Amino acid sequence: MILVLKHYKQGNMKYISHIDLLRHFTRTFRRAGFEIEYSGGFNPHMLVNLGTPLPLGISSSAEYLTVRTEVDPETFLKEYNRVVPAGMEGIRVFAPKVNPNVAGRTVAADYSIAQSGAEEKRREVEGVVNLLTLEMPVERKGEVTVKDVAPLVNGVKVYPGRLNVCLAAGNTTLRPDKFAEFLAGKYGFCVHTTDLWKYEQYVRENGVLLEMDRFLEKLEERDEEQKGENHALTNE
């Protein structure tokens, strides 16, 4: 059975690297007594497929991992939350019958950043989504280049005390902390990137962004539909 766990990453756990998360989940699943599928070969290891990497210091309520196990979803969530360290609690478990390839299918994510002063610049800040080009300095391996990030920005909204952005994530990623700092410098307001949350993740279906939860629910629904079709064919 394939299970997808949606979980938090917050508190002190937001400083755990993506690689170290694998060790964390391996230990947690062992403490819970789960029998997780292992790889083959001379050095077998627990098969835990993580979602897209989250930059250090960013909190999230929309992280996903995929495993294969015979533990039912309800028991998995209950026992996982019984032994997991604070900050990585499970939210929900999905049971699609096909591998959803969460990391590979992710194309965008929503983030919320604390800000002050953006309300006075609301029109200009929210208007960046309509710009044909948006040149932003990007540092990589110590070298700064200017990149057009307009195609990577799906949405910008200003709320009292918060700046919400929908940015490219997955194979092509625009870091929310760097983008928020860029907007703040460009339009003259302050952002507080120590208070930054990722709260939604998306795939793209038929050219439209679809929430990850809904995508996983549809995979579960398709399985039920297939069972119904097979049952109908058997009775004909």
Report domain extents, the chain.
2-103, 108-208
Taking the chain, what is the end-to-end CA distance rounded to the nearest angstrom?
29
- Measure the CA–CA gap between 37 and 60, rounded to whole angstroms: 27
pLDDT in tens, the chain (236 residues): 999 999 999 999 999 998 899 999 999 999 999 999 998 888 888 999 999 999 999 999 999 999 999 999 999 999 999 999 999 999 999 999 899 999 999 999 999 999 999 999 999 999 999 999 999 999 888 889 999 999 999 999 999 999 999 999 999 999 999 999 999 999 999 999 999 999 999 999 999 999 999 999 999 987 555 555 444 434 44
Predicted model pTM? 0.91
- Phi, psi dihedrals of residue 87, rounded to the nearest 5°: 105, -10
Nearest residue to 223 via CA among 101, 96, 105: 96
Which pLDDT does position 236 carry in this prediction? 46
CATH annotation of 2-103: 3.30.70.580
Is the CB of residue 167 less than 8 Å from the CB of residue 108? yes
Is the CB of residue 203 less than 8 Å from the CB of residue 171? no
Helices 73-83, 18-32: axis angle to 10 degrees equals 110
**CB within 8 A of 32, min separation 6: which ones?**
79, 80, 82, 83
Which pLDDT does position 233 carry in this prediction? 36
Which pLDDT does position 227 carry in this prediction? 55
